Amino acid sequence: SPQSTWGLLHSMFALRSSVASALRQPRTIAAAAAVARSARIGASLSDDNKEQKREMAAVGTGLNKNRPVSPHVQIWDFTIVSVASIATRITGLGIAGGMAAVSIASLPSGDMSDLVIAFKSAAPGLVPFAKFSVAFPFVYHYGAALRHFYWDKTLKGLTIPEATQSSIALLGGSTGIAAVLALL
């Protein structure tokens, strides 16, 4: 009958939209299943059972206080591996931002060497620091890329102690190489 077809289509749409909504928000698989279940049986609940409907809706909105809450990122200790990973992203942004800034700064004169000569004559004591601030992001980012290529190709060095050791070597080696380049 048309009435039952409409009811079936309505239930299917409610189920699909509830599952899609649950998957867009971070929560457990059990919570997503509860949302889908509530959409399926929500139409069969009577209006006098408002408490059960509220509980089912609370699972989908995060109002259910009985389920566990994910810990906040601030309670986790940052290991040297996570610092190295974040540093890789920061150096990548620094390289891109630095290249954009140098490109924009060299537009009026048309030559980057004019800017370098002007900087060297204006602040000769800052030249090694400027060289280091340019060399370190390139050396570090390149070294991190080589480490990731090695990990991807060999699947070696992925244990926590090995990753920690390679992160320390990457940070120390990059700092040393950049310091040498800054003094040239």
Model confidence, pTM: 0.59
Flag whether pLDDT at 88 surpasses 50: yes
Q: Which amino acid is at 24?
A: R
Which residues have C-beta within 8 Å of that of residue 76, sequence separation ≥ 6?
none
**Residue 102: CB atoms within 10 Å:** 13
| Sign of the alpha-carbon torsion through 172, 173, 176, 182 | negative
| Sign of the alpha-carbon torsion through 116, 120, 121, 126 | positive
Higher pLDDT, 84 or 64: 84
Q: What percentage of residues in the chain have a pLDDT greater than 90?
A: 46
Measured between alpha carbons, how far is 155 from 148 in angstroms, rounded to an integer?
Answer: 10
**pLDDT, tens only, 37-65:** 555 444 454 555 666 666 555 555 555 55
Measured between alpha carbons, how far is 29 from 19 in angstroms, rounded to an integer?
Answer: 11
